Amino acid sequence: MYGNQRYVRQPIGFGGGGPFPQDLWVLLGVLLFTYSLYYFETTASLLGLLQLSPNVWRRGYVWQLATYAFVAQKAGPIWFVISVAILFFFGRDVFRVLGRRHFWRLILWAAMTASVVAVLVQILMWSVGWMSPAPFLIMQGSSMLLTILVAAFATLYGNATILLMFVIPVQARWFLWLEILFAFLAFLPTKDFAGFVGVCVAVGTTYSILTSGSLRRALREYRLRLERRILEARMQRRRRRFKVVKKDDDVHRGPWVN
């Protein structure tokens, strides 16, 4: 549907453009519900069952690989409203292009791929003695949804202009790199390397799916490119082994040699 396409249509923008898709209202309801659970003692502990944590491999809570992306971050009410508004305005344009099925497939594939890689990185870090005080912190909840939808917008509407901080005009395609930069800045105080890797994987997976048509096709293209580079490197090494035989003009040639 959307593989290898360049979208020339313009985004709806932050004002007008018709009603929000019903799916985004459902997403808002889920985030608002999980956000409200933080403020009740009897329900706050339930969020620990849904957020990404080491219990994925310690206790087999594998559902956290998907549910973590739909749990709102514990932040102030103002930041919650701002993050939801940004999510809606970017999500509406992405939903308009992809449609319902591909919209949810993109979110699930990107979120789960990012969480699986982040978990593997965290296990590797702990196996070598690198302890992280807050694993998966910077990729929890609505921050992952924002990462995926902003990356999708930057891929689909790369030539659109967005006002960064409502002041600086930036082409949408640069938000792919800005998201990685912001994740790195969040990594510095938290030391959450697994979360930083998860954000990078989410951005790369989103871009790959939207430009290749599916994650399987994207992985196949990456594999073919890697195999081609390995083959080219081997051929280059073999060429260096060949010895060039120079023509010797002093060698006497018989009459039978042309």
Which residues make Cβ contacts (< 8 Å) with residue 75, sequence separation at least 6? 83
Cβ(69)–Cβ(50) below 8 Å: no
Low-confidence ranges of the chain (pLDDT < 70): 1-19, 164-166, 213-227, 240-258
**Is residue 249 situated within a structural domain?**
no
**Is residue 209 situated within a structural domain?**
yes
Query: For residue 6, what pLDDT is reported?
Result: 44
**Is residue 10 situated within a structural domain?**
no
Query: For residue 7, what pLDDT is reported?
Result: 44
- Taking only the tens place, the pLDDT of each residue in 166-178 is 677 778 888 899 8
Rounded-to-integer distance, Cα 198 and Cα 205, Å = 10
Query: For residue 15, what pLDDT is reported?
Result: 43
**Is residue 258 situated within a structural domain?**
no
Query: For residue 145, what pLDDT is reported?
Result: 93
Cβ(136)–Cβ(53) below 8 Å: yes
Please give the residue range of the domain that contains residue 39: 22-232
Alpha helices in the chain (DSSP H): 22-37, 41-44, 55-58, 64-67, 77-127, 142-156, 175-190, 193-212, 215-241
**What amino acid occupies position 138?**
I
**What amino acid occupies position 250?**
D
**Is residue 67 situated within a structural domain?**
yes
Domains held by the chain: number = 1
- Which residue, among 228, 209, 210, has the nearest Cα to 219 in the 3D structure? 209
Secondary structure class of 161 (helix, strand, coil): strand
CA dihedral 54, 55, 61, 66 (to 10 degrees): -30
**Is residue 33 situated within a structural domain?**
yes
Query: For residue 124, what pLDDT is reported?
Result: 93
Query: For residue 8, what pLDDT is reported?
Result: 40
CA dihedral 97, 110, 15, 81 (to 10 degrees): 150
Q: Structure tokens of 29?
A: 């309801």
Query: For residue 104, what pLDDT is reported?
Result: 93
Rounded-to-integer distance, Cα 60 and Cα 108, Å = 20
Which residues make Cβ contacts (< 8 Å) with residue 24, sequence separation at least 6? 88, 91, 92, 95
Q: Structure tokens of 246?
A: 């120079």
Rounded-to-integer distance, Cα 90 and Cα 98, Å = 13
**Is residue 88 situated within a structural domain?**
yes
**Is residue 204 situated within a structural domain?**
yes
Cβ(10)–Cβ(160) below 8 Å: yes
- Taking only the tens place, the pLDDT of each residue in 47-91 is 889 999 999 998 999 999 999 999 988 778 888 888 888 888 888
* Domain of residue 93, CATH code: 1.20.1540
Query: What stretch of H or E contains 169?
Result: strand 168-171
